Amino acid sequence: MQLMDIVAVELIEDFRVRLTFSDHTMREVDLWPYIRRGPIFARVRDDTSFFRQIEIRDGTIAWPNGADIDPNVLYYPDLQPAGWEHDRAPAS
């Protein structure tokens, strides 16, 4: 698996963005599933003007409060953020 950086972000509507990755791939992504959890994303999801402050920082999308999302999770559809494993029901 090649590690990817995000090199450009464009707001589309609501929580949808168009991302351009370091290999020139462009993807339209709904960020809601990524920002709907966790206290770090509270302001990002609750304040539209804050959400719109999205920027590229260190190869990923980020916000002024330090919230960010792993670019590989946004590039590779089979990857999930590490914190999501806590949402799964324990295997019986």
Query: What CATH number has the domain bearing residue 76?
Result: 3.30.2020.10
How many angstroms separate the CA atoms of 46 and 65, rounded?
A: 13
Strand order in 60-62's β-sheet?
55-57, 60-62, 68-69
> Residue 1's pLDDT is what?
79
Whether the CB-CB separation of 23 and 76 falls below 8 Å is answered with: no
Whether pTM exceeds 0.95: no
Residue 90, in any domain of the structure = no
Residues of the chain with pLDDT under 50: 88-92
Residue 73 lies in a domain: yes
Cβ(43)–Cβ(65) under 8 Å?
yes
Does residue 92 form part of some domain? no
Domain that holds residue 41: 6-84
